[in-house]
């Protein structure tokens, strides 16, 4: 699944790609996550999380140039959905801008942030407590 949101103001503002890595759902996100793009992001993350009853999801934020409070709200909502399964939402390779937003808001205490996608996928394969992916 790959989709691009294009607005009249800024072409190609958000790119979303869904794939599997070692059986774990991974969503690559590039661009800007804000009020105009967060709806699509929410829909695609929930779709990836519920595809074939998957419980865990890695969101690769390496290509995110901007994220605002609505984008954070989407990630919190998807995190709650994953926790209820019970599963994991792991954030991989956040860009320096995204990492700064998570640190400023204190969400680094809530979300597992991993420096690499491989680390995030591994955490989903062997999470604490032994929950399956």
Read off the pLDDT of residues 91-112 as tens digits, 9 standing for 90 and up.
999 999 999 999 999 999 988 8
Would you kindly state where each structural domain of the chain is located, as residue ranges? 2-125
**What is the pLDDT of the chain when averaged over all its residues?**
86
Beta bridge partners of 25: 20, 57
Q: Tell me, what's the pLDDT at 129?
A: 58
Read off the pLDDT of residues 35-76 as tens digits, 9 standing for 90 and up.
999 999 999 999 998 887 788 899 999 999 999 999 999 999
Q: Which residue has the tokens 């399964």?
A: 85
132 DSSP 8-state letter: -
2-125, what's its fold? Transcription Regulator spoIIAA (3.30.750)
pTM, to two decimals: 0.86
Q: Is 18 helix (H, G, I), strand (E, B) or coil?
A: strand
């Amino acid at each position: 699944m790959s989709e691009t949101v294009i607005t009249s103001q800024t072409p190609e503002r958000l790119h979303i790609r869904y794939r599997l890595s070692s059986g774990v759902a991974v969503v690559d996100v590039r661009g800007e996550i804000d009020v105009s793009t967060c709806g699509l992001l929410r829909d695609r993350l929930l779709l990836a999380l519920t595809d074939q009853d998957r419980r865990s999801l890695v969101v690769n934020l390496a290509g995110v140039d901007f994220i605002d409070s609505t984008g954070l709200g989407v990630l919190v909502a998807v995190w709650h959905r994953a926790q209820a399964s019970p599963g994991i939402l792991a954030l991989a390779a956040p860009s320096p801008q995204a990492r700064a937003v998570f640190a400023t808001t204190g969400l680094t205490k809530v979300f597992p942030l991993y420096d690499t996608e491989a680390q995030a996928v591994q955490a989903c394969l062997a999470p604490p407590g032994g929950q399956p992916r």
